[in-house]
Amino acid sequence: MIDENFGVFENKTSFNNKKNKADFVYIKRNQSYNFLKTDKKESSHFLYKSIQGDFILRAHFTITNINFDVKIGWNIRNNLSLNSSNISAFIDEKGNYFLNFNDDKNNQSKKVNIENYVPNVIQLERIGNNYILSIAKFGDPFSTIKIIDKHLFNEVFVGLFITSKKPIEINFTNVRIITPAKKDFIPYQYYIGSNLEILNIKTGLRKTILHSAHSIQAPNWINSDKEMVYNSNGFLYKFHLKSKEVSQIETGFANKNNNDHVFSFDEKLLGISHHNKDDYGDSSIYVMNPKGEKNPKKITLDKIGNSYLHGISPDNKTLIYTAHRKGKYDIYGIDVDTKKEFQLTDTKDLDDGSEYSPDGKYIYFNSNRTGNMQLWRMDSDGKNPKQLTFDTNYKDWFPHISPNGKWIVFISFPPDISFGDHPFYKQCTLRLMPTDLSSDPKIIAYIYGGQGSINVPSWSKDSRRIAFITNSN
């Protein structure tokens, strides 16, 4: 829930100097927080929320007029007194990061000092009685340290904490307080809440535009970027960005749609993947009027195996999808009019996430044919496959090409997931790379999500923004 005065927080307090000239201000239009201190008296300030159990705290920040007596970061504490037992993760004036535990009996501190490196993203995570600090310069992977077996209350106060002796101004953006899925959750049976977010790829600024307690997945932009479509619980919904109104799209008998739904480039065709009871419950592909239709047209053959739609050719004549045929998953295409299916890839492992380039010359996809899940590109007829990423610390999925053809955005899962899997509720990154491969991928968002976050084409028509789903319980 977003508070008009405090955003994702619920209140604020000052500690050792109540008459100081300093304050947090929530800026609603971009969901940021500004802290301004104008006096030279030492004071400590806490913008907080009460929370229970495990959580992840993350924020980006910029500092104006940095001084030599300042600490900025996250704090977790049992109560709101200055001497409360607490965990703090903060940056000092030299750019050093500390993870610190304080109580009545002891003080334990760990320091991260990375030479010639000034981080501006700080994340603090609690897992049971263990606390993990992750830091990065925006665009880079996290570096982490942890303190283990430190006991605070299950119910704690968490928030942004600043101590300063001199005037300072700090702006916090992309602030997130995340409650992750419980360890015993069962995928595809239990779900946690969802946030529909928009990210400006140039500035890195994110904005949450819709929250749901349901699992919502796979947003597309439509109608000149005025609306978005996502799936939830087998149905498709449309969200109007200006009015904030949500309406359901009529799909008739197709009421078990998964997150593999795609609009054609001209938005005259909507393709869906529906689990048809007459096909043993397998996912079959249909096309329909994007405005709604009671009888979508079935394209894939009956009882042939699972088919998960990922792309529509620019001329609307061909669908491409991941299909289970011959005992394995490969990328297939099908002629919309004749319903003639043809195979585009043939490997022993998994090829998935196929999508046409806007000019129709290439198909981008992900494959673990060389061991790790990487991004690939091939000609539209399946020839000349070329590997695009060579990651060892990531597993790369679902490449999406910007409408201007210049960029690839994709999701990178952590390396510890199962071979060929793209699970729910993981700490992932969204990354960006040029289609001409002139530079390496860079991180544009640190997210808690995964399956359903960015499975389908997610670019705005102006190639400036992407939409995606993050999760919190």
Give me the residue spans of the domains in the chain: 11-178, 193-472
For the stretch 261-288, pLDDT in tens is 999 999 999 999 999 998 899 999 999 9
Q: What's the chain's length in residues?
A: 473
Distance of CA 296 to the CA centre of its chain: 31
pTM score: 0.95
pLDDT of residue 200: 98
Give the CB-side neighbour count of residue 65, counting CA atoms within 13 A. 10
| Tokens read off for 65 | 């007029």
For the stretch 145-161, pLDDT in tens is 999 999 999 999 999 99
Give CA separation, 135 vs 211, 261, 467, in Å: 27, 36, 24
Closest CA to 353 of 340, 366, 344, 334: 366
pLDDT of residue 306: 97
Give CA separation, 196 vs 130, 215, 227, 241, in Å: 30, 11, 12, 11
Kindly report the CATH number that applies to the domain delimited by 193-472.
Answer: 2.120.10.30
| Tokens read off for 135 | 């830091």
Helix (H, G, I), strand (E, B) or coil at 430: strand
Give CA separation, 409 vs 15, 38, 201, 217, in Å: 44, 41, 10, 17
pLDDT of residue 103: 80
Look at the domain 11-178 and name its fold.
Jelly Rolls (2.60.120)
Residues in the chain, pLDDT under 50 = none
Q: What gap in Å lies between CA 4 and CA 27, rounded to an integer?
A: 9
Q: What is the CA radius of gyration of the chain?
A: 24
**Secondary structure of 301-348 in HEC code, one letter for each residue:** CCCCCCEEEEEECCCCCEEEEEEEECCEEEEEEEECCCCCEEECCCCC
pLDDT of residue 117: 59
